[in-house]
Amino acid sequence: MERLACAEIPALPLQLLLRGHPEWRRHPSAVVAEDLPQSPVLWVNAQARDGGVVPGLRYGSALAIVPDLRAAAVAPADIIRAVDAVTGRLRRFSPDIEPAQEEPGVFWLDASGLQHLHASLDRWAEGIRSDLARAGYDAVVVVGFTRFGTYAAARVARGVRVFADPDEERAAARRVLLRDLRVPPEMLDALGRLGVRTVDELLRLPAGGLLERFGAAAARLHRQASGDLWSPLAPRPAIEPVHRHLILDAPEADAQRLLFIVKHILHPLLARLASRGQALAALELRLRAGKEWSAHVIRPAAPTLDAVRLADLVRLRLETARVDAGAAPPRNAGVTEVSVECAAAPASPEQLALLAEHSARDLEAGTRAIDRLRARYGDDGVVCAVLRDGHLPEARFGWVPVTHVSAPRPRRLETQSLVRRIFARPVPLHMPADLRPATMKLKPAAAESAVAGPFIVSGGWWAVPPREDGVREAHRTYYFMEGAQGELWWAFYDQARRRWYLHGRVE
C-alpha cells in the first residue's frame, strides 16, 4: 500500500522572523505584509494571540491592542530560499518531495517502501523532525495514506504521528476543526451559522448544495475531505548544484593567476544561474594546497549576476588569504585544485536583462579587430556567408563584407541535424567515368564506399558560366559516400563533363 507523509513547519514566515530576532520569542510577535500602519498582520505567535492579535488585523490596530507587539515583514525571497533549503534537507529521507504551492512550510513526501529501509516509519518520521530541529525549525511529521488526511492531522498534531491503516487516518481527519485548516474567515462564519465546525460535519452536507450556496472553495474542500478530488504526488525535480571543480596542471601560488582561473570558471556558472532565472547569493571558493583544503565564502550584499563585481570580491579575498598566510610559500607549494560552488536566489528581471545586455563577449573589441583587418587587407578582407535563391548548391549562398560584430541569436532546435560543409568550388576527383558509385574509392587505399543516392540536380544553364570546354548545362548526380576512415563525403558525377567532383563533407 502506498504511504504518504506530510511534514509541516507551522507558520514558516513567523519562524524565520524569530530566527532572525531570537530576543522576540518571549514577547508578542507578528509577521506583517509591510511595515506600515494599514498593512495586514499575516502570522502571530501565541503571546500575541493571547493578547487579542489575530491574522487579518491591521498593524496599527494590533499595536493599539498590544502596545509591545514586535512585528516585521519577511521578504518573499527569504521564504523561497527557506522552502528550497528544507526541500534539499528532506531529499535525504525521500527522493520525491512536493512543497505546497499555496502554503509555505507544508511538504509532502513519498514514504512508500521506506519501512524496508528503516526500523519503522516512526523512526523515519522522528529522523525528519530531528533534522529540521537541528536546522532551527519546529516541525510536525504525519505519516498516512492520503494528501488531505496527513495534512489535516498535521494541523493539529504535535511531534510525530504515524497511522496504521486508512480508517484510523480518516477518523482522525474527520475530527479536525475547520478553523485549523486555514479556511477563509467568511466561509468559516457562514458554515458556523449552520453548526458546521468539523470536517465530519462538513462531509454530511451535500456537495452540490455547497457549491451553490458557499462557492467553489467550499465544494473543493468537501471533495478533498471525501476523497473525490485525488491528485498524485507532484515531486519537485532535483536541481543540480551550480559548481565547477578544476584540477590544475601545476601548483599555482600567484594570487593574480588564481584570480584569472576563478574568473574563467565564474562566467559559465553565472550563465547557468541566469538560464534558471536565478542570481548568485553566495560563492564558496575552495582551494587545495597539498593535502589541505581552505574554504572561502563570499557573500555580496544582494544576489547578483555581475561578474566584474564578483571577481573584485574574489580578488580581495585571495589577497587577504595570502596576507594571513604570512611569508610567501616555498617554490614547490601552491594550489593544485580549485572548486567553486554557487548558492542561488531568485533573480529580478532587471538582473537577467543586464546580463543579456552585458555579455561576456566584448562586441566592441570584435568590431575594432574587424576594422584593423579591413584596413590591412581591404574592405573584402572579412566576409560572412548569406543565403540566396539558386538552383545549384554553390549558387544558394554568397559572401558579403562584414563591418561589425553582432550578438548571436541562436534558435532552439528539437533535433540535431548534420552539417554539410561545401567547398567554394567542387574539387575534381581522378577516377574512371564509368566506375559504378557502389565501388568508388575516394582514396587509393580506401575500401568500398557506402553510398546514399543518387540525387539528381539538372538545369540551371542560364546561371552556369561556360567552362573552357564551352559547356553551360548542369546535370549532376549526387551521392553520399563513406571513406575508409569513416568520413562522410558529398560527391557528384557531372553528366555533361563526364567527370567526378567532390563538393563537400558532412559532419
What backbone torsions phi and psi does residue 7 show, to the nearest 5 degrees?
-110, 120
- Which of 320, 342, 357 is where one domain is finished? 357
What backbone torsions phi and psi does residue 29 show, to the nearest 5 degrees?
-135, 155
Whether residues 65 and 116 share a domain: the answer is yes
Whether residues 428 and 293 share a domain: the answer is no
Within a domain: 400 = no
User: How many other C-beta atoms lie within 10 A of the C-beta of residue 312?
Assistant: 12
DSSP assignment, residue 277? T
Please compute the mean of the pLDDT values over residues 385-389 and round it to a whole number: 82
Single-letter amino acid code for the residue at 201: E
For residue 442, pLDDT over 50 is answered with: no
Within a domain: 376 = no
Comparing CA positions, the residue from 361, 133, 333, 161 lying closest to residue 250 is 333
Within a domain: 275 = yes
Within a domain: 362 = no
- CATH number of the domain encompassing residue 163: 3.40.1170.60
Q: Checking DSSP bridges between strand 70-72 and strand 29-32, what pairing results, if any?
A: parallel
Place of cell 532535483: 238
Whether residues 145 and 20 share a domain: the answer is yes
Tell me how many domains the chain contains: 4
Higher-confidence position of 436 and 4: 4
Distance between CA atoms of residues 240 and 275, nearest Å: 13
> What are the strands, taking DSSP E only, across 350-462?
383-387, 397-401, 420-429, 451-458
Torsion of CA 229, 126, 49, 105, to 10 degrees: -50
Residue 360: its pLDDT value, please?
55
- Which of 357, 372, 388 is where one domain is finished? 357
Within a domain: 378 = no
Single-letter amino acid code for the residue at 99: P
- Partner residues linked to 476 by β-bridges: 457, 494
Residue 90: its pLDDT value, please?
93
Torsion of CA 302, 304, 310, 312, to 10 degrees: -60
Whether residues 22 and 80 share a domain: the answer is yes
Mean pLDDT of the chain: 82
Region of residue 498 (phi > 0: left; psi between -120 and 50: alpha; otherwise: beta): left
Of the pLDDT bands very low, low, confident and very high (cuts 50, 70, 90), residue 399 is: confident
Whether residues 118 and 9 share a domain: the answer is yes
Exposure on the CB side of residue 351, measured as CA atoms within 13 A: 21
Of the pLDDT bands very low, low, confident and very high (cuts 50, 70, 90), residue 417 is: low
Highest mean pLDDT among 66-75, 182-191, 378-387: 66-75
Whether residues 259 and 149 share a domain: the answer is no
Torsion of CA 369, 370, 372, 376, to 10 degrees: 140
Whether residues 321 and 438 share a domain: the answer is no
Residue 201: its pLDDT value, please?
92
pLDDT tens per residue across span 81-101:
899 899 989 999 998 999 998
Strand order in the sheet with 420-429: 420-429, 499-506, 488-494, 475-482, 451-458
Residue 438: its pLDDT value, please?
45
User: Which grid cell sits at 133?
Assistant: 530541529
Within a domain: 364 = no
Distance between CA atoms of residues 380 and 401, nearest Å: 5
pLDDT tens per residue across span 233-256:
888 877 777 889 999 888 888 888
For residue 21, pLDDT over 60 is answered with: yes
Whether residues 98 and 160 share a domain: the answer is yes
Distance between CA atoms of residues 187 and 218, nearest Å: 7
pLDDT tens per residue across span 344-359:
877 777 666 655 555 5
Whether residues 24 and 158 share a domain: the answer is yes
Within a domain: 350 = yes
Quickly list H helices, 120-254.
Answer: 121-134, 147-156, 166-174, 185-192, 199-203, 207-214, 216-226
Domain containing 441 equals 420-506
Whether residues 191 and 319 share a domain: the answer is no
Within a domain: 234 = no
User: Which grid cell sits at 437?
Assistant: 558509385
Of the pLDDT bands very low, low, confident and very high (cuts 50, 70, 90), residue 419 is: low
Which segment of 47-56, 292-301, 365-374, 407-416 scores lowest on mean pLDDT? 407-416
Place of cell 486508512: 166
Whether residues 255 and 347 share a domain: the answer is yes
Whether residues 192 and 279 share a domain: the answer is no
- Which of 155, 170, 185 is where one domain is finished? 170
Peptide bond before residue 401 is cis, with ω within 30 degrees of 0 = no
For residue 202, pLDDT over 50 is answered with: yes
Comparing CA positions, the residue from 210, 239, 241 lying closest to residue 225 is 210
